[in-house]
Amino acid sequence: MASLAHRGLVHLGMDVSKDSISVAILAPDRDVAVTDKITSDAESVRRLIKRLGRPSGIWACYEAGPTGYDLYRLLNSMGVRCEVVAPSLTPKGRGDRVKTDKRDSRRLAGLHRAGELTAIAVPDPAQEAVRDLCRTRGDMVEDLTRARNRLTKFLLRHSTIYRGVSNWTIRHERWLSGLVFDDKALAATFGHYRATVQLRDTALEAVEADLRGYFATDPFADAVARLGAYRGVTHMGALCLGAEVFDWRRFPSARSFMCFTGLTCSENSTGLSEHRGAITRAGNSHIRGQLCEAAWSYQHHPAMGPTIRQRQDGAGPATIARSWKAQTRLSKRFAALAARKTVKSVVVAAIARELAGFCWAEMTATH
């Protein structure tokens, strides 16, 4: 039975694809939805809403996906209430092995009226644009990593190994510049691999130069100043976190934000048996990647170096105090876990989970 909040409304379950939208229309006095199929252009959506009658009496939903939020914004501009729901949290029958657009739209309409769907937060166009630019940076980082790995593996195949402390430093670049291959084909291969690495480096620098202009721009300036005061969270990382979350108060607790990052443990418990497994990896992978990258810095002893002090210039005293509390706790926690665990990535995931809680507490604090 429909809840009071849903009573008297026409529910639309929409299965959206590139060229078409399958629509299930569930009237308030019906238990079975009527299905229709329209093209995905704005004019067809307008005709559908006009045919259904009063926009304020319609409540639509569709699953988040590659088609973005333009349909959500179009329906809102017409006075239709719309929710974009999380596809990973949409209930599905274990024995359901048939999937069609029509069945999906009917299921969405029924579950939405029953209140069984979980809506996600939709950014405004400006926030979404910066988020896309942050994700472009993430793509550039992945491309650079792949290019570096290809070059390193090529050199390893030919027993050319750098014996210095760290790769991709100034010394490592000098070492690469001094390499000479007698064979013409090998020399050409090395030249192409190295040129690709340099090209990816340049592309990443260009994207980061574009992003730096948003460090002091609302609504991201507050997140950059506050999160940038924490160890391991650079201003660039803080901007990426702020662009991905953009509304920290939609999470009622630190634990709910940790679950959103996919850093909490999976669980399969029943009766008297309890079993916890690996992290769920659900939710936002971009946030999870940023937090795990920052968590590596807590393997060192607590310290206030010049880099952190420089990032804390725009932060308030309360933020600096909370960041120091986080640093002392997480560094101690990292050392304790590293002494018991043989796999460092497991330790980093645990530290990243706690860092997510500190970040949530920081961004929801009143001062």
Same domain, 175 and 42: no
20-33 tens-digit pLDDT:
999 999 998 888 99
Domain boundary among 165, 185, 212: 212
Whether 119 maps to a domain, the answer reads: no
Q: Are residues 208 and 231 in the same domain?
A: no
How far is 182 from 319, CA to CA, in rounded Å? 58
Residues 197 and 265 both lie in one domain: no
Q: Is the pLDDT of residue 4 over 70?
A: no
Region 252-257: mean pLDDT is 93
Domain assignment present for residue 340? The answer is yes
Pair 133, 80 in one domain: no
Domain that holds residue 250: 221-364
Whether the Cβ atoms of residue 311 and residue 229 lie closer than 8 Å to each other? yes
Same domain membership, residue 295 and residue 349: yes
The secondary structure of residue 13, as a DSSP letter, is: E
Listed residues 212, 243, 269: the one ending a domain: 212
pLDDT tens track for 192-211? 999 999 999 999 999 999 99
Say what the pLDDT of residue 1 is. 44
What is residue 14's three-state secondary structure?
Answer: strand
Sheet holding 34-39, edge to edge: 34-39, 20-26, 10-16, 58-63, 81-85
Q: Which amino acid is at 47?
A: R
Which two three-digit tokens encode residue 139?
A: 């793509």
Residues 84 and 8 in one domain: yes
Tokens of 77: 């501009």
Q: Are residues 356 and 225 in the same domain?
A: yes
Q: State both tokens at 113.
A: 């009226």
Confidence grade of residue 274 (pLDDT, cut at 50, 70, 90): confident
| Per-residue pLDDT, 251 | 92
**Band of residue 278 on the pLDDT scale cut at 50, 70, 90:** confident
pTM of the model: 0.88
End residue of a domain, out of 158, 189, 212: 212
When divided into structural domains, the chain yields a total of 3
State the DSSP code for 215. T
Residues 106, 161 within the same domain? no
Mean pLDDT of all residues in 60-72: 94
Same domain, 339 and 230: yes
On whether both 208 and 225 belong to a single domain, the answer is: no
CA distances from 257 to 95, 115, 264, 355 (A): 31, 22, 10, 11
Does the N-terminal peptide bond of residue 87 adopt cis geometry, omega within 30 degrees of 0? no
Q: What is the pLDDT of residues 84-104, one digit of tens each?
A: 999 888 888 878 888 899 999
Rounded mean pLDDT of 320-331? 95
pLDDT at res. 189? 97
- Percent with pLDDT over 70 in the chain: 98
Is 98 found in the same domain as 147?
Answer: no
Residue 120 lies in a domain: no
Q: Is residue 185 assigned to a domain? A: yes
In a shared domain, residues 230 and 204: no
